[in-house]
Every structure is written in C-alpha cells, then in structure tokens.
Amino acid sequence: MGKQINVALIGNPNTGKTSVFNQLTGLNQKVGNYPGITVEKKEGICKLPRGLKAHILDLPGTYSLNASSFDENVVIELLLNKNDKDYPDVAVVVSDVENLKRNLLLFTQIKDLGIPTILAINMADRMERRGISLDVELLEERLKTKVALVSARKRMGIDYLKELIINYRHIPIEPCVNASVIDPEYFGNLRKAFPNQSLYKLWLVITQDVNFGNINRAELNTNTSFNTKSTSDLKRLQQKETIIRYQFINGVLKETMSVDKNAATDLRSRLDRILTHKVWGYVIFFGILLLIFQAIYSWSSVPMDWIDATFASLSEITKETFPSGPFTSLIAEGIIPGLGGIVIFIPQIAFLFLFISILEESGYMSRVVFLMDRIMRRFGLSGKSVVPLVSGTACAIPAVMATRNIENWKERLITILVVPFTTCSARLPVYLIIIALVIPDKSFLGFNMQGLTLMILYLLGFGMAIFSAWLLHKIMKSNLKSYFVIEMPNYKVPMVKNVAINVVEKTKSFVFGAGKIILAISIILWVLASYGPGDDFENAEEIVTSKYTETEQQVNHDEIEEEVASFKLKNSYIGIMGKGIEPVVAPLGYDWKIGIAIISSFAAREVFVGTLATIYSVGSDEEETIKNRMAAEINPILGGPLFTFASGVSLLLFYAFAMQCMSTLAIVKKETNTWKWPVLQLIIMSAFAYVVALIAFQVLK
C-alpha cells in the first residue's frame, strides 16, 4: 500500500462529479489535455488517512461505454489500457440519487471490466426532501460493491469514500450482469479464440473504434476461430445488452429503493415554465446579461485603478532604484508595462468567470442552451451549436473542440467557422480600455453607458455568428436534419468551493497563458523601440535641440526630453515599421502605434493593450498610468485626441469581427484537418472587420 493509488472518477454528466473531485482534491489539481488529443483532462492529489495519497483523474462525463463522442472514447481507451500510467487501481462511479436508474447502466458496464468499482451516490442530502429511501446494505449485496452516500455540497460521506478508496482491494471485481447471455454461442467462440483475454473488453473492442493491449479490431475481424458479425447485427446485440442491464437495474432498485411521490415538490417545473418561456425566458436572460455587464464595470473599477497606478509606480521606482542602462530600461519600459497591460484586467475577467460559473453551477445555463435552440434552428444550426457559442465567451479554443458532439459534419463545420465571432475573454482587455477612453462614464435609463456598450459588443458578436451561420447554411445547402437532446439538471444553489476553484483556475490560465506571450512580445517590442538604424536615431538629441536653437525658442528641459523620446521612437525600428503600415490604418482613424499593436495582437488579442503600454512607456519618465498615456495621444493627421468616439468605435468593431488568434487558427486546422478553412477564416473575417471599421470611422468622424 506504499504506492500512490490511481483513482478514476467516472459518471454521467450533471451527477456532481466535479463537486466530488473538488472535495477530494481541493486546490491540489491541474487541468491539461490528454496526450495527442484536445480533450480536457482534470487531475489532482487527494491526501488519504494513514499518510497515503491518491492520484484522482476526473474523466469526461459519459452515459455508457457505448461511445458516441471523442470524450467518451477517452474514457474507454483508458479503462482498456492497463499499461497507461493513469490506469485506475479503483474506479469511483459518481451517481445522482434522483437519477440512479440511468446512472447504474455505466456502473454495471465498468464492473464487467474487472476493475474494483465503488458506487458514490451523490446529493444524498436531498433524499429526505425528495421522499427517497435506500437499503444501502442490500444494494451493496446486489451490486457486489461498496456504496458511499455522499453530499459534495455538505461534505457528507467524503471521509467514508476516502476509506473505501484505501481499502479498494477488498471490493469484489466479479460482474453483476452476465453480458454474454445476449448470444452465448458467439461469446463462447470469442472466449475460445482469445482464452487469456477479458471477454467484456474484447466485446468493447469489437463494437467500438478502440484498441486494447496487442489486440485491435483488424485482428479480431480476421481471426478464423469465430465468425464476425455485421455492423447492424452488432448494434442489435448492443441494444439487447442495454435491455438486459436495465432489467437487472430495475429489479435491484425495486428491492432497495422507494420513492414517496408526494414528497417531491414541483418547484423545478414551475421555474422551468418561466425560465424557458418563449417570451419571458429571453427577457430574463437579457436582464441577467445586463446585470452581469453592469457589475463587471461597477465592482472592478477600484481594484483596476489600484493595479494601474501600482504598475506605473513600479516602473518609476525601478528607474530610480537601479542604475540607468539598457537592462533597467527593459524592465521599466518593456516588461513591467507589458505585464501591467494584462494584470489590470484580472478583476473584470475574474468577475466574468464568476458569473459564468454561477450560471453553470445553478443549472440555469442548460436552460439558456435549450432556449436558444429555437433561434438556432431558423439559422440552419443544430441546438448543439449553442454549447460552443456560449462557451466561446470564455475562449474560442475549447469552444471549437466542443463542436465534436455535433453529428452532422456541415453543421459542425459551420459552427467551427462562426465561433470566433463570439466575444472571448481575450477581447475583454481591448474592449475595456477603449470603452473607458471613448464612452462617457454616465448613466442612461439608470444603466452605466460603459456597461451597456460592453453588452452591445457581446450581442453584436453573437448576432454576427448567427448571421454568418445562416449565410454559410444557404451556401452549403445542408438538408440533413439533426435532433437536439439536452439534459436539464436540477436547480441548485452554487457551491462556493466549486465556483471559487473555477474562477481561480480559469483566471490563472488566462493570465499565465497571455502573460507568456505578452512577456515575449514586450521584450521584442522594447528592443525594436529602443534601437534604430541611421543617424536620425543616434543623433536625436542634437537634431531636436538644434531646432530650438535655430528658432531661439525658450522651452524647458522636460519638454525637450519628451520630444527627444518621441523623435527617437519615430526613427526606431518599430517606428519605421509602423510608418510603413500607417497608410493602411490611417483611414480607420489609427496611428502607426495602434497599427503595430493590431499586428502584434495577431499572436493573441489581449496583447494589444500590452503592446501599447510598452510603446508608450519607452522614453517616458512620468509616473503615468497606461490609460492616461493613451488619453494624451494626439492624432498625427487630424490633430486632437487620437482616441475619439469615432476612432474608438472603429477599433471596437475591428476587434469584434477580426480573426486575431493564432491558437484558434491552429485548433481549427486540427479539427478540420486542412489549412483551407482557417486561412479562409483569417482572410474573410479580417477583411470584413477592416471594411466595417473603415465605414464606422468615416461616418462618425
């Protein structure tokens, strides 16, 4: 028992598996991807009694081992591969006390794999309210396992579950259903052909697109010891297997479980009637969005101002403390402002993830998906497309991956192509800084105008995604019908621990993901802005001072210093590059600095603010915040402030529609298996963004 125990948490979606995972691991967890595929992998360490540790793997939600998606395939591949480093010593099947019948199908299948399997019945605190009673001892006897009644919300039964995990060797591994009775002759021949292999594992390899050990489907199909069956015959046998399992489950629950129908309240159905109403459902959803964006602005203003001022002071302190030279300049004018450009948005991004987590945890997000299905159908999309479009508000990458559960290829492709229009969290820093500069901080009908503008940008992105989908649907002419099925989880008060972990993990991932790119780009930009070719850069001070000497103008030292810094920046490598692209961006109301920021933000959208922060900081000695520096910029062509209502709206619209994320392009290539679609995406979205931004500026200026 000295070694670390591998524990796989398995269960249907919406059984509270993540809550149990969070209770077992706390903050000792990390999120990554399975090797070679982009399916999210959550794992963590659980400290057990007697000084032991368990490596907990939270597997993707699955209804059965009859895989119909990439996520479910991941579960089967792991459970079949004993050589995998994550292969479980013990499986914990998490079920929901109110949906035990459906959850037990997966349990009986995993039991057939010969893995010690514990049944954790979650939400046990609801049993009394729902009039449910269970004979746990008899249930354990019938299912040949150990059962833990747990409530992740109230931390009930978690310690007992840990004890069961420690003593996993005492859990029987024989199956509770004999699946071979569906065709004794066929399974008998299979056993003779492969006498040393698990019969049920062989059956899964035959019926699924998976391999195990040294045996693959091709070997099974070419083996002459038994007759292979056609795909339709295998499907019929799978259906028979499911029926036999449910007959067993019905018999077990009849003996061990009783439900008092009168005890269950109809609060859920009453709430559903209101929240999914064809009129009030949309009104309520719109109202919730309005409150979210108002709160994002109101609650985060104080910490944002403090972070902005802190980074400005930090740059100044660095310059005063360390000896002057290139290294000090790099830190004070490159790295600190660049990182400050992303850290300043932590409060608003954290609040956005907070609200999304609360909506998901409460069960309301599933109602939103159901509600939006009515709209999706009119635009040629599946209701399943809503999940990627909604999750795109966090990041387009997992949103593109979430299209995998759309069976119709054309609907899936259309969804992949339009997902980048939805406003992701990377656009948020750009929106927030520009809105703060060009939209008055005033109220309209009791609502903050900056918060309203932010919500309009989110709706604009979503609306453009829907319109593009309709256009693509008309071009591609997909006539295949698809059906939308979604499970409505019970309403529940969000668990503080779940929400907190989700907010911390998502914000951390955003900041560190963006931080690495920004740090690298900040250093490159600082070098390009601090050095330049030719005499103009080298002799900047003489050129500027001689101009004042010739005209005999009286100017103070600070003004000369500022003009020298500005002259050097224009003649630096980045200034020359910027001047080269200025004719292209000038019609949109931008100067060369914004042009450089736009180009650098093709690495990641949020780099825009960090880029401007770095460019504006080079040669600046004043203790100014990023926002103040941007507000003080002068338009070189039109005169007056650079960031006006016209140029600000133009920039917001450009970022709303442009495809500016290399990672998203890479994932689209991976999911479509060709560069054709991401290249088209990049060209069409960028061209459309340019035209819209151009029209907006020319009309509004």
Annotated binding site: 11-18, 22, 25-26, 36-40, 58-61, 122-125
Distance (Å, whole) CA 24 – CA 21? 5
Distance (Å, whole) CA 190 – CA 211? 16
- In this structure, the strands spanning 146-149 and 117-122 are parallel
Per the DSSP assignment, residues forming a β-bridge with 149 are 121
Distance (Å, whole) CA 565 – CA 548? 16
Q: Tokens in use for 105?
A: 């199908």
3-state class of 23 per DSSP? helix
Tell me the CB-side half-sphere exposure of residue 697, using CA atoms within 13 A: 22
Q: Tokens in use for 334?
A: 């490159």
Distance (Å, whole) CA 604 – CA 655? 11
Residue in the block written with tokens 């020319």 = 698
Q: How far apart are the first and last CA of the chain?
A: 74
Distance (Å, whole) CA 451 – CA 289? 10
3-state class of 229 per DSSP? coil
Q: Decide if 89 contacts 5 (C-beta within 8 A).
A: yes
Nearest CA among 94, 122, 118, 95 for reference residue 169: 118
Distance (Å, whole) CA 38 – CA 396? 13
Distance (Å, whole) CA 616 – CA 186? 75
Distance (Å, whole) CA 71 – CA 367? 23
Q: Residue 216 is which amino acid?
A: N
3-state class of 409 per DSSP? helix
Which residues are annotated binding-site positions for GTP?
11-18, 36-40, 58-61, 122-125
Nearest CA among 31, 37, 40 for reference residue 508: 31
Q: Decide if 671 contacts 416 (C-beta within 8 A).
A: yes
Cα-Cα-Cα-Cα dihedral sign, residues 401, 404, 406, 409: positive
Q: Residue 493 is which amino acid?
A: V
Q: How many CB atoms lie within 10 A of CB 561?
A: 15
Query: Cα torsion at 247, 249, 254, 259 (round to 10°)?
Result: -130
Per the DSSP assignment, residues forming a β-bridge with 122 are 96
Q: How many CB atoms lie within 10 A of CB 249?
A: 22
Which residues are annotated binding-site positions for Mg(2+)?
22, 25-26
Q: Tokens in use for 584?
A: 């292209």
Nearest CA among 437, 439, 430, 427 for reference residue 629: 437
Q: How many CB atoms lie within 10 A of CB 555?
A: 13
